[in-house]
Amino acid sequence: MQTGELLYKGKAKSIYRTDKDDELLAVFRDDITAFNGEKKDEFAGKGEYNFAASAFFFDFLEKNGVKTHYLRAVDERSMIVSKLNMIPLEVIARNRAAGSVVKMFPFEEGQILDPPVVVTDYKDDERGDPSINDDLIVALGLLTPEELADVREKTLTINRLLSDFFEGLGLILVDFKIEFGRKDGMILLGDEISMDSMRLWDMSTMESFDKDVYRFDKGDLMSAYARVVEKINQWKDSHME
Ligand code: 5GP
């Protein structure tokens, strides 16, 4: 589609200006990176799979009372979103121990975390997205104590909704990363919710259906992403109003 000025090029999405001041166009690209940009590739179709998952999850969350930046789909890899003033935090919810938390702490891989654990990284590539705590977030003026509580509550609500959803598809939502932004004094869910930003394991085989397939060369990434989107589409077909 015809796009306006490129405002921001992230590792997997590009954000363009539109003819409306309060709306942006988010285009999901085929690029993929891991380990803070050390590993880089392109997979034909990845943008479309992540777009499909993100559009579905934003819509699903909105229907369940969670406010997001998602407005509408434009084509198979682009969406119009509300312009947010993004908060430079990566909020991570974990239902099982995996990834960095297993490297840093004495957890067993796959250990159930009940209640779920919410951790936050400061989004800054040059500093390697360091882990940050609540006092530092307030001291840096990123969130007020009230907003911190709001972000935590929203994250746990999103975790519950997504975990239950994936359980119905035979998948375990191990963990995921989300980002928030401000609009008109409210905090809304922004960025994306896709297989690039979550860990999903098959409930019976514990096989990965997410970016770990790429990070750790576990198999065919596009088959894994296609499988998740296929399951989402099957769910949509069986829940047609
Ligand atoms: P970990 O801290 O174990 O590396 O990541 C926890 C979860 O958050 C994983 O699902 C991972 O994919 C996601 N995550 C953490 N940092 C990033 C990031 O910078 N970009 C994306 N897309 N996902 C991330």
Atom nearest to 177 CA in ligand 1: 8
Query: According to the model, what pLDDT value does residue 36 have?
Result: 84
pLDDT category at 208 given cuts 50, 70, 90 is: very high
Give me the domains of the chain, ranges plus CATH numbers. 6-82 (3.30.200.20), 85-220 (3.30.470.20)
Query: According to the model, what pLDDT value does residue 3 have?
Result: 73
Which secondary structure element, helix H or strand E, spans residue 182, and what is its range? strand 180-183
**Which one, of 152, 83, 90, 87, lies nearest residue 117 by Cα?**
152
List Cβ neighbours of 97 (8 Å cut-off, separation of 6 or more): 105, 107, 108, 109, 110, 111, 113
CB atoms within 10 A of CB 148: 17
Query: Token match 């069986």: residue?
Result: 238
Atom nearest to 123 CA in ligand 1: 19
Give the residue-averaged pLDDT of 110-115.
Answer: 98
CA distance 59 to 72: 9
Query: Do 58 and 70 contact (CB within 8 A), yes or no?
Result: yes
Please determine, for residue 82, whether its predicted confidence score (pLDDT) is greater than 80. Answer: yes
**Which one, of 32, 37, 79, 38, lies nearest residue 55 by Cα?**
79
Q: Render pLDDT for 149-183 as a digit per residue (tens, 0 to 9).
A: 999 999 999 999 999 999 999 999 999 999 999 99
Phi (first) and psi of residue 178, to 5 degrees: -130, 165
Query: According to the model, what pLDDT value does residue 212 have?
Result: 98
CA distance 33 to 90: 16
Rounded distance from Cα 14 to ligand 1 centre (Å): 19
Query: According to the model, what pLDDT value does residue 1 have?
Result: 54
Protein residues with CB under 6 Å of any ligand 1 atom? 90, 92, 99-101, 129, 175-177, 196-199, 211
Query: According to the model, what pLDDT value does residue 240 have?
Result: 80
DSSP annotation of 68 reads B
CB atoms within 10 A of CB 161: 18
Give the residue-averaged pLDDT of 31-56.
Answer: 96
Give the residue-averaged pLDDT of 136-148.
Answer: 98
